[in-house]
Copies of this chain bind each other. A is one copy, B any other.
Amino acid sequence: MALIVVKFGGTSVGDIERIKNAASKVAQEVRRGNKVAVVVSAMAGVTDQLIAYCHGVTPHPNPREHDAVVATGEQVSAGLMAMALEQRGLNARSWQGWQARLRTDNGHNHARILDIDTTKLLDRLDKGEVAVLAGFQGVSEDGSITTLGRGGSDTSAVALAAALKADRCDIYTDVDGVYTADPRIVAKASKLSKISYEEMLELASLGAKVLQTRSVEMALRYRMSIQVLSTFENAIGSDLPGTLVTDEDETMENNPVTGIAHFLGAAKITLAEVTDTPGVAASIFSPLAQAGINVGAIVQTASNDGKTTNVTFTIPRGSLGRAEEIIKSEKEKIGYRNIITDSHIAKISLVGLGMRNRPGIAALMFQTLADKGINIQLIETSEINVSVVIAEDYLELALRALHTAFDLDMA
């Protein structure tokens, strides 16, 4: 008998029929003799509706009240899931964050999980009851409801699995696993049967939408393997046909590149002919940080006159207007000739643990793009990824060329 945590995302519980379908998967696991804890997201679209209500009331909703409102989405789906399980003859009970004593810090809207008191949960799981936890939420020290931020239900699931010392953590979503590249763009992309925590973390933070970054961080910290499955295609327990996110092992070293991520949500700003004096970087980036704008890659290049430099960096596309405003208002202080913005960029990242020991990965990437006539605007690297920023129009071409060049194409 195993203890399993099963998580269903928003599309997997998107309507009543889908909730019933998800319940049938849970029932199968119970019939196999397993103890099951379920974690659910809000029904698809509900969270957005609730956020829209908040912003209808005030442009800057009180974070505590925002969480109280938004957390209801998962409460509804947890209750409905428990009903659907009972309808199938199982004992089931919904648990809201405060009922499961999932304690978080006070960081409303993006709270971090401190711990989960599993005494009561384990007691009821031992009695054969299915626990249905409302994902995405917890309770703070002062008894307020907190939420974990976008995609937080994945994090809830991994935290619960770790706290319960579960044998498996299955995350049902609307894709059937992790691919070498987005299969909607790269027809030859193939599903990975396994991927290491570290690689998944890079892919998630570089734009792959399969799992939420923090959930992978947590999986890595607790060495809790995650199985990514599709609610719509995978039969539960059918020899694990999704992708297993787990510890690095030798089988993964075959190819230096495991997968290719891409990201379309960034914009680029270039400040031309910046006076090259000490402190100039601070004069650019401090006001942006104060405005809460996340700056990505930064590149500084000499400009034509040899006396000034050009500074280029990326920011989230949605912050472009505000960033431009701020930089223009600081023009005197920074000292630059003009500002050039571009929101038609794409970031492409090669990810693989194998890169650590293989030189030449970046070189092959640049050569492959050059051969297709694609100009590289920015470069960023880490131990296990190489990322480039290119013009958005070349995204598909670049992805397919790199997929082939790095031997990822399906045989």
Residues of A that sit less than 8 Å from B by CB = 16, 19-20, 50, 53-54, 56-58, 61-62, 64-66, 68-69, 71-72, 75-76, 78-80, 82-84, 86-87, 92-94, 96, 98-99, 143-145
Contact = CB atoms under 8 A, between A and B. Distances in A.
A76 B65 contact: no
A79 B86 CA distance: 31
B94 A57 contact: no
Contact of A65 (B53, B58, B62, B86): B86
Given A50-B76, A53-B76, A72-B76, A82 B65 contact: yes
Interface of A is mostly: helix
Nearest to A143: B99
Nearest to A94: B68
A83 B78 CA distance: 26
A81 to B, nearest CB: 9
B84 A68 contact: no
Contacts of A54: 79-80, 83
A68 B50 contact: no
B84 A57 contact: yes
Contacts of A144: 99
A408 to B, nearest CB: 43
A64 B96 CA distance: 13
Contacts of A93: 64-65
B68 A96 contact: yes
A293 to B, nearest CB: 25
B83 A61 contact: yes
Given A16-B53, A80-B53, A68 B75 contact: yes
A135 to B, nearest CB: 14
Nearest to A132: B65
Contacts of A20: 57
A122 to B, nearest CB: 16
Contacts of A56: 16
B69 A75 contact: yes
A65 B68 CA distance: 19
A96 B139 CA distance: 13
The 10 closest A-B pairs by CB, nearest first: A69-B79, A72-B72, A16-B56, A68-B79, A58-B87, A65-B79, A65-B82, A57-B83, A65-B83, A61-B83
24 contacts: A16-B53, A16-B56, A53-B76, A54-B80, A57-B80, A57-B84, A58-B86, A62-B82, A62-B83, A62-B86, A62-B92, A64-B93, A65-B83, A65-B86, A68-B75, A69-B75, A69-B76, A69-B80, A69-B83, A72-B72, A72-B75, A72-B76, A75-B75, A98-B98
